[in-house]
Structure 1
Amino acid sequence: MVSSRHVIGVKRGERTTFQVPAAFVVETSDGGATTVLETLRGTLILLGDAGYSDAEALRWLFTEDSTLGTTPVGALRAGRRAQVRRLAQALG
């Protein structure tokens, strides 16, 4: 999933384990399992195309944006994919 840009994370902690932000994980529609936020991959691809490293993409996704009124990841979780992707496209 990481190499196919479905998700990104950071290595942290004493053992430098790979950690994915909880905001990237959502419950499935049946409520029985969790999965990666569906709209994340396309946004990560756009950020990568704009030259963003994984660390820069994480910073961007979790930084409040005045045009969105929330963070880009918050907007993605709220179903506002088009608005977030327009912002990401403008970066490149």
Structure 2
Amino acid sequence: MSSKYVSHDVLPADEPLLSLPEAAERLGVVVTKVMDLLNDHKIIAVQRDGVRYVPVAFFSTKKENTARFIPGVIALLSDGGYSDEEILAFLFTEDDTLPGRPIDALHGQLAREVMRRAQAMAV
């Protein structure tokens, strides 16, 4: 499998994940559209037991799309030289100054703060 489509699994073992077909179903699209999102680096997949998964937290609570700020943070950090593993570690690691995890803050009022931090990190 191409590393372009899958990252080393650096997520907590209990992090909720969706297989690519499950992600497609959640988005209401065909699985090739999810592959397009991965190829376009809008989302990042991890591999567990030979299966590719996408974190549930990448999706909005409305279910029909990815969370608004996720692709932007991925792009900012990727352009700044961060690997997919480093991006996932940043997003899914508790940060007492937020408080909570950046991935969770991207779904609420602290989304712009996470974007600001990602931009500062990428410089």
SS at 1:11 equivalent: strand
Matches of 2:118 and 2:79, distance apart in 1? 10
- Aligned twin of 1:7: 43
SS at 1:35 equivalent: coil
Structure 2 residue corresponding to 1:68, chosen from 86, 98, 103? 98
Task: Give the TM-score taking structure 1 as reference length.
Answer: 0.83
The answer to whether structure 1 residue 25 and structure 2 residue 59 are counterparts is yes
Matches of 1:3 and 1:65, distance apart in 2? 29
The answer to whether structure 1 residue 37 and structure 2 residue 95 are counterparts is no
Matches of 2:120 and 2:61, distance apart in 1? 30
Q: Which runs of 5+ in 1 are unaligned?
A: none
Runs of 4+ in structure 1 displaced over 2 angstroms?
A: none
SS at 2:94 equivalent: coil
Task: State the 1:46 CA deviation.
Answer: 0.6
Aligned residue pairs: how many? 86
